[in-house]
Every structure is written in C-alpha cells, then in structure tokens.
Amino acid sequence: SEDANLADTRPTPPATAVDRNLTLEIARITERAAIAAAGWRGKGDEMQADKAAVLAMHDALNAIDIAGRVVIGEGRDAELLAFEDAVGTGTGPAIDVAVDPLEGVTGCAKNVADSLSVMAFAERDGLMRVPDAYMEKIAIGRGYPQGIVDLDQSASDNIRALAKAKGVAATDIVACLLDRPRHASLIAELRELGVAVKLLPDGDIAAVIHAANSDDTGIDIYLGSGGAEEGVLAAAAMRCMGGQMQGRLILDTAEKKSRARELGIKDLAAKFTADEMAHGDVLFAATGVTDGSLLRGVKLLPHKVVTSSVVMRSWSHTTRWITAEHGRV
Ligand code: VTB
Ligand code: MG
Ligand code: MG
C-alpha cells in the first residue's frame, strides 16, 4: 500500500511551523562556518579556529531574512552570537536560534575526527535555555517502547531493557560515551555487563545522532555527560529523527543553580525529554569540518570547496544529506 507520508497527503503544517525553505538557508550557514574553520584544521589553535567559525556563522546568519534571537550561543559576554542577541536581517519569521559554530574545537585544532559546525532553528520559545553546565544524557533510536531507558535507572538496567527490547544479549549492545575521567565508574559498570563501549575523544551531538541511527552506525545508545548546550542541539536533531532522549542538568555549584533559576528552570533536578528541550517545529543542520563518522570534512581544492552537511526538519521528519560544491572564482 502507498505510504501516506511519501504520497504527501500530510496535513498542512501549522502557521507557527518554521518556513521549510529555511532548511537550505540553515545549511548554507553551517557550510560557511565549516569552511572558515577548515582553514584552521591541524594548526593547534583552538581559539582561532573557533573565532573563525563564529565570525563566519554570525555573518551568514545575519544575511538571512529572519527575526532571529540567539538562545543557545557563545555565552553571555561573547562579542558575537551572544545569548539573546538579535540575529538575521530582522524581517521575516521569528526564529529562536541555537549555535555551535565549531563543535569539537579540539578535533579541529588537531585535525582529527568529528569536528562539526552545528545550528538549529526553532519557533519562538521552542528551545530550552540552559546554564553553562554539564548535562547528563541518554539517547536511543526510534522503535522502542517509550521510557525503556531512563536517567533514573542504573546504566545496567538501561542496557538490559534495551537489549531485551532488541532481542539481543547485553553483550551485543554498543554504548557510546565521551572518554572522560568522570565516566570511569559508568564505563566500569558497562564493561562489567559485557557491553561494547565506544569511547569518543569529543563530540556528543554527533554521538546522539549516531545512537538515533543505530541501524547504520551500530551504536545502540549514547550515555554520559557532556555540555548542556550540546544537549539542546542534540535534542533538536533527535526531534527530527524521532528517537528517545533525556537530559538532566548537573548543577553542582550555587552559581549554576541560580543561573538555571534565572533562566526559568523551576525543578533543578528535572529530566527533560528531547521534546521539552526543543519543541514545536525545529530545523537542525551540521556541516563537517574534519572528516568524521557523521560527515566528510571540508575539502579545499584549487577550483572548488566541497562541503558535506546534514539538514533535518522535525515537522516532516526529513533528513537530507547535502554535498555542495562551492566554485572558487
Ligand atoms: C562536551 C560535549 C561536546 O566537548 O561539551 C565536551 O558536549 C566538553 O567536555 O560535544 P569536557 O569538559 O569534559 O572536556 C565536546 O565533546 C566538544 O565540544
Ligand atoms: Mg562552541
Ligand atoms: Mg561544543
């Protein structure tokens, strides 16, 4: 029978939905930032690489017709793309913007895998505001009963539940997490169960996307803590892909707690679903800076520059992989 979704018999999106043509604009922006950062690959200078990406993203973003507002940005005191900054030309739809112009600055400076330029667009008030803190995260792909993994369960219980739902042994599960000393006991617990632990030097937005695409990547679950802002960006991607994700802020200082309250977070110990972190219609885009497991890095050739990007939209659940050739004139 004909797939209703492919036959395009879907209802018209609500008026509040993000203009779908912005999917090309958002990809253009991450392309620009990635190209700018590419010149800094392997130069050992994280700051300059990040600065180049921020500037390029800022300029590209300000050229498009949106009344944008930075919700996830470069911090409160940043010169460019700071929290609450107005972005875009100011005419056009009201859009809340999340940016990480160079996600994985270390990977870029060292010219190793998975440095990306990342951005999300949402309807006004569609993105959660978070303090500069870590977030405990868990993510799996679609097709599982709601709530089979949960941050309130032990890692072992989560793995057992996932393995059972997949109809495999816990030893067949591949779990991915950031390679950090703070994860030592979590890693030990997973290895005790015989889980295949995949340790990443950096980049947990890509890791969450991998967990959502487990058929392709072989990664069944993402676990552990990483940046809270990366958590919101990953939630935007997850909304487009349709898996399950939870995040819980790690507010281990009085300052982080009071900042969270200032940002309107009432229950400081709350777990947030992907939908709570990024709601309504959202767009997500990433362009590879260095060659990685998610995307090819920018190719700087004499006559052209080649970029590889992914752009997704939650309303339609579309994922587009875009290879772009930018002619050098
Ligand atoms: C996290 C993670 C990011 O950097 O922010 C991490 O979310 C920093 O963690 O994806 P540490 O403070 O433990 O180094 C990334 O891996 C890359 O920006
Ligand atoms: Mg950044
Ligand atoms: Mg980052």
Same-domain pairing of 172 and 225? yes
As a whole number of angstroms, the distance between CA 66 and CA 69 comes to: 9
The verdict on the CB of residue 202 being under 6 Å from ligand 1 is yes
Same-domain pairing of 249 and 261? yes
Would residue 17 count as lying in a domain? no
Helix (H) / strand (E) element for 224: namely: strand 221-227
Would residue 8 count as lying in a domain? no
Same-domain pairing of 179 and 224? yes
The verdict on the CB of residue 280 being under 6 Å from ligand 1 is no
Same-domain pairing of 209 and 255? yes
Same-domain pairing of 270 and 304? no
Helices 155-166 and 184-192 pack at an angle, to 10 degrees, of: 40
Distances in Å between the Cα of 51 and the Cα atoms of 15, 36, 101, 176, 210 are 36, 9, 9, 29, 27
Q: Which ligand is closest in space to the CA of residue 209? A: 1
As a whole number of angstroms, the distance between CA 2 and CA 8 comes to: 10
235-294: pLDDT as tens digits: 999 999 999 999 999 999 999 999 999 999 999 999 999 999 999 999 999 999 999 999
Where residue 286 falls (left for φ over 0; alpha for ψ -120 to 50; beta otherwise) is: beta
Q: Is the pLDDT of residue 9 over 70?
A: no
Read off the amino acid at residue 163: A
pLDDT at 116: 98
Percentage of the chain with pLDDT > 70?
Answer: 97
How many domains are contained in the chain?
2
Average per-residue pLDDT for the chain: 96
- Beta pairing class for 174-178 and 221-227: parallel
Among 277, 294, 319, where does a domain finish?
277
Q: Is the pLDDT of residue 133 over 90?
A: yes
Among 239, 259, 277, where does a domain finish?
277
Would residue 11 count as lying in a domain? no
Question: Phi and psi of 292, rounded to 5°?
Answer: -150, -175
**Owner of token pair 């909304």:** 239
Same-domain pairing of 61 and 164? no
The verdict on the CB of residue 101 being under 6 Å from ligand 1 is no
25-67: pLDDT as tens digits: 999 999 999 999 999 999 999 999 999 999 999 999 999 999 9
Same-domain pairing of 218 and 304? no
Query: What is the CATH number for 86?
Result: 3.30.540.10
Q: Of all atoms in ligand 1, which is nearest to the CA of residue 226?
A: 7
Read off the amino acid at residue 309: S
Same-domain pairing of 248 and 286? no
Would residue 7 count as lying in a domain? no
Same-domain pairing of 87 and 162? no
Same-domain pairing of 185 and 106? no
Q: Which ligand is closest in space to the CA of residue 135? A: 1
Averaged pLDDT, 19-23: 91
Q: How far is the CA of 81 from the centre of ligand 2 (A)?
A: 10
Would residue 200 count as lying in a domain? yes
Domain that holds residue 41: 22-126+281-327
Q: Which ligand is closest in space to the CA of residue 201? A: 1
Give the count of alpha carbons within 13 A of 165, CB side only. 18
The verdict on the CB of residue 103 being under 6 Å from ligand 1 is yes
Would residue 97 count as lying in a domain? yes
pLDDT at 171: 98
Q: Of all atoms in ligand 1, which is nearest to the CA of residue 180?
A: 13
Query: What is the CATH number for 236?
Result: 3.40.190.90
As a whole number of angstroms, the distance between CA 282 and CA 277 comes to: 11
Structure tokens at 303: 């006559």
144-178: pLDDT as tens digits: 999 999 999 999 999 999 999 999 999 999 999 99
Same-domain pairing of 218 and 272? yes
State which of 178, 208, 229 you would mutate to test the pocket of ligand 1, scoring each by most atoms of that ligand within 8 A of its C-beta.
Answer: 178
ipTM, two decimals, is 0.96
**Owner of token pair 């309303």:** 315
Percentage of the chain with pLDDT > 90?
Answer: 92
Would residue 265 count as lying in a domain? yes
What value, to the nearest 5°, has the Cα angle with vertex 31 and ends 288 and 294?
Answer: 20
Q: How far is the CA of 102 from the centre of ligand 3 (A)?
A: 6
Question: Phi and psi of 130, rounded to 5°?
Answer: -130, 150
The verdict on the CB of residue 131 being under 6 Å from ligand 1 is no
pLDDT at 3: 58
Same-domain pairing of 302 and 264? no
Among 262, 277, 292, where does a domain finish?
277
168-216: pLDDT as tens digits: 999 999 999 999 999 999 999 999 999 999 999 999 999 999 999 999 9
pLDDT at 1: 42
Would residue 52 count as lying in a domain? yes
